[in-house]
Amino acid sequence: MPIIDLTLPRDALPRPALETLARDLSQALLHCDIARDNPRAEGMNWVYIHTLAAEDIVVGGQATGGRPRYRIEVTLMAGAMSEPHRQEIAALMTAAVMRAEGGALNPLNAARVWVLFHEVPDGHWAAGGRLYRLADVVRFVTGEPIPTATAVEAP
């Protein structure tokens, strides 16, 4: 159930390139064995695109101007991926941004792409009015039944 928040300057990328980038970022998360080529896992990846005016991105007290900066925040359940897996995903996502931009993948350009991973503690993720645990997501992705939870009605 990962969520990707992509923040970038408005008009940094044409809409078709931005849509391709969103798909590529989502695919980068599906790089692990259990999720690869799995429609159930694909349907659980959400990408939110946040655009800002270029002058609203400030580095070192100065509006950045020039080359755009990108922030990719990945929110996922704690324990869903290892450090080597996060490293691989960060590299894939950085490469996807450079492809979308048409820039060379070099250290200077790569430094304009930040990938941040936020882990939500197990049992702290809710959807559809119920809490889910990592084990529930694994069951769903692999096609096993998820135990039913008692729904709590809103007052």
User: How many residues make up the chain in this entry?
Assistant: 155
Look-up of token digits 């080597």: 84
- Comparing 105 with 126, which gets the higher pLDDT? 105
With bands split at pLDDT 50, 70 and 90, how would you rate the model's confidence at 152? very low
> Which residues lie closer than 8 Å to 48 by C-beta, 6 or more apart?
3, 4, 5, 6
Domains of the chain (ranges plus CATH)? 3-142 (3.30.429.10)
Residues 6+ positions from 63 with CB-CB distance below 8 Å: 54, 55, 57
Q: How far apart are CA 107 and CA 102, in angstroms?
A: 15
What pLDDT score does 80 carry? 84
Contact in structure between 31 and 89 (CB atoms under 8 Å): yes
More confident residue, 115 or 63: 115
**Element containing residue 132 per DSSP (H, E):** strand 130-132
Structure confidence at residue 150 as a pLDDT band (50, 70, 90): very low
pLDDT of 8-22, one tens digit each? Answer: 999 999 999 999 999
